[in-house]
Structures are given as structure tokens and as C-alpha cells.
Amino acid sequence: MRIATWNINSIRARADRAVAWLERSQVDVLALQETKCANAQFPEAPFREAGYAVAHTGNGQWNGVAIVSRLGLGDVRIGFDGQPGFHKDPEAPAEPEPRAIAATCGGVRIWSLYVPNGRDLADRHYRYKLDWLAALKDQAEGWLAADPEAKIALAGDWNIAPFDEDVWDPSLFEGKTHTSAPERAAFFAFEQAGFTDVARPHTPGPGLYTYWDYTQLRFPRREGMRIDFVLGSPALARAVQGASVDREERKGKGASDHAPVVVDLED
């Protein structure tokens, strides 16, 4: 079984590219982030023609997550209990954003997650990010407590670089989001809850990134960040046979600014 996560940065702009990659890479289940479309706008037809079912949640030009699978989509769930919300107007009621969706595919519980960016250490969005991660961690801990042998994959764009080697120049991120101590602590809290970064042992750094900004020639200059991960439960981690980051998919016209992270599991 081959699973992957990919921040596609607009599925309507890259549906054909995503389907071609699925067929070429023989990925069974793909978690997508930043689909940037409402449910009715998701281009399901090319995926279905290629043999993939689609589960998606989105509400417009921002956020949006999906799971596409050729192994079925069981028990689809949008969001998680206690998921914090956000509204740009601090006086308006906060509502959960389309940042989390789950489905059971081939016996594995797949979560596609788009962790809030945080924007700036002084921004309300930063507190929202930390609260969102804490709520997800509490839920994930509960899932494992209920079934210690469950195969769970928390896959997505985490918007955190856990180690200094995960950014091309740590000094440029001092006092900024993505590498701050509270964010890294929130990430490592998942390890304390029993989840493991299952790709890193097979894709060691430094310099192995998953994201490169479109500006300032970041990609050809190899100035990237490692912020996309698959965190696996103990049972899933034991099933991992290999992993890779498909840097080639960041190349060419119309590429997303992220590369797919691929994980191979025992059947």
C-alpha cells in the first residue's frame, strides 16, 4: 500500500497534473491540502476516471483538504472533536475551517491535515495554530487509547519545521513562525502521544525539503523548508517499508510550491 500527502496549492489548477502523478507513482491514497475550492468546484471527474474516489471539504478560495483513494473511502469524517475555529474579525464568532478530513482506506485511518500557518508570532493566527495543534493532539491521543493497534496516518502540511536542518538558513527564521519553540513543542507533543514521523528515517536531511517559495528563485537555489509530514501510530510505523520526497514534482510549469511525500506500507 502506498500513501502520500501533497499540498497541491489549488486543485482546479493542478487536477490533471495530480492525476498524472498518481498514475505514474502508483499511489493508492493521497491526502491533499490547500485545494482552494468549494465542494461543488472540486474536479472529481478525472480522479474517478482514473479509479479514485474523492472525499473533500472546502468553502472557497482558501484552505480545503481532500483524500483521494483507489482503496475505498470508509467512515469519512470532516473535522475533529474540539477543532478550534477562526475568523478574521475578532468580534465575530469563530468557526472551524476546512483543514481536516479523515477516511479509512485499506485498513488505514488517513487524516489529511492543513495546519494553520500562524502568520506572525504576534498575530491571533499564531495562538489559533497552537490551539489547533493541541486539540488535534488530544484527539489523536484518545484514538490510540481506544485502539492501540489502530493504523493511523496524520498526513499533511504541518507548517512547522521541527529541526534547524529543516530550513535552509535557521538564522532567517529567528523570531518568526514555523521554527518557534512553542510550535516545535506542539509538533513533538505528537511523538509523546505515540506518533512517529515515519518518512524521516528513510529521507534523512539536511537539505531534503518539501516546500520552496515561488519567489526569489528559492527552488533552483535549494532554499526550502521541510514542513510536510506523515505522523504514524505505532502500528502504522511498524508497517512502513520506505518513504520518499518527490522533488521532481516541484519542477516545471504550473507546479505546486510543495512536493509530495510518499510512504510505502506493508499490505
Any binding-site annotation on 56? no
Nearest in space to 153 (alpha carbons), one of 102, 107, 110: 110
Any binding-site annotation on 257? yes
Q: Can you tell me the distance from the alpha carbon of 110 to that of 87, in angstroms, rounded to the nearest whole number?
A: 27
Per-residue pLDDT of 124-179, as tens digits, reads 999 999 999 999 999 999 999 999 999 999 999 999 999 999 999 999 999 999 99
Please count the other Cβ atoms lying within 10 Å of the Cβ belonging to residue 179: 21
Domains in the chain, ordered, with CATH? Answer: 2-265 (3.60.10.10)
Give Cβ neighbours of residue 150 (< 8 Å, ≥ 6 apart): 109, 143, 144, 233, 235
Cell numbers representing residue 85 in the block: 475555529
Could you say which DSSP state residue 254 is in? T
Any binding-site annotation on 7? yes
Q: Can you tell me the distance from the alpha carbon of 191 to that of 213, in angstroms, rounded to the nearest whole number?
A: 28
233: pLDDT confidence band, cut at 50, 70 and 90?
very high
Q: Which long-range contacts (CB under 8 A, 24 or more apart) does 185-188 make?
A: 186/130, 186/133, 186/134, 186/137, 186/160, 187/133, 187/158, 187/160, 187/162, 188/162
Would the pTM count as exceeding 0.85? Answer: yes
Which residues form the catalytic set?
Answer: 114, 157, 258
Residue 243 confidence (pLDDT) above 90: yes
Any binding-site annotation on 59? no
- Residue 267: predicted pLDDT: 80
